[in-house]
Amino acid sequence: MKIYLATSNKNKKREIAEILPEHTIVIPSDEGIDFDPVEDGKTFYENSLIKAKALYDIVHCPVIADDSGICVDALGGEPGIFSSRYAGPEYMHGTPDGKKIPQEQQNIFLIEQTTKAVKDGKLPSAAYLHGERSCHYTCAMVLYAGPDRIFVVQETFEGTLINSISEAAGTNGFGYDPIVFLPEYNKTVAQISPEEKNKISHRGKAVKILKEIIKHI
């Protein structure tokens, strides 16, 4: 089956295509489709649905969309839905001109901001799920097969933010993966293999659930 993926992120396409090898995964740029919907939802789910419906209205074929981000407990769950636009403590929800900063700079800002928040100790200890630097990825994924056939899955993936950018490691992942440490693997997310990541990640778990649903549409 041909399934459109509502993203311009080729890394997301690769991960999802690896889990759905029996289907043809296509992103808008593959077919020259101009696709840049305004993601003004207040939750991962709302943004995912916005993207899925917007692309479905263009292609009229099954669409998968996901909205994901990193949530740091010491920052009260930030940057969350603003993870891709995050530009440091002064611009938590993005720069005034809307331009994204380099990922490495985002990583540095997030580590430094988390360190400061932990030192300030503004949140009660109960706010930290797995230690002071605990964090998790969230993925809300929508399969849009028509206005009356909408399926939603939300999954998480827990880890710990590293202490310093000098500890960043790995080349297999993307985004914040080099700075999220997995104690059970003694590696960052970017150090584990793509196969391992797909088994345990927020996006991998969500796609596997949708994979079973796709069999029946």
Active-site annotation, residues = 67
CA distance 172 to 84: 19
Instruction: With CA atoms as reference, report the closest residue to 13 among 1, 25, 22, 3.
Output: 25
Asked whether 86 and 74 are in contact (CB, 8 A), the reply is no
Measured at the CA of 175, the angle between CA 35 and CA 32, to 5 degrees, comes to 20
Asked whether 65 and 48 are in contact (CB, 8 A), the reply is yes
Report phi then psi at 136, rounded to 5.
-155, 150
Question: 158: part of which helix (H) or strand (E)?
Answer: strand 150-161
The tokens describing 216, both together, are 């029946």
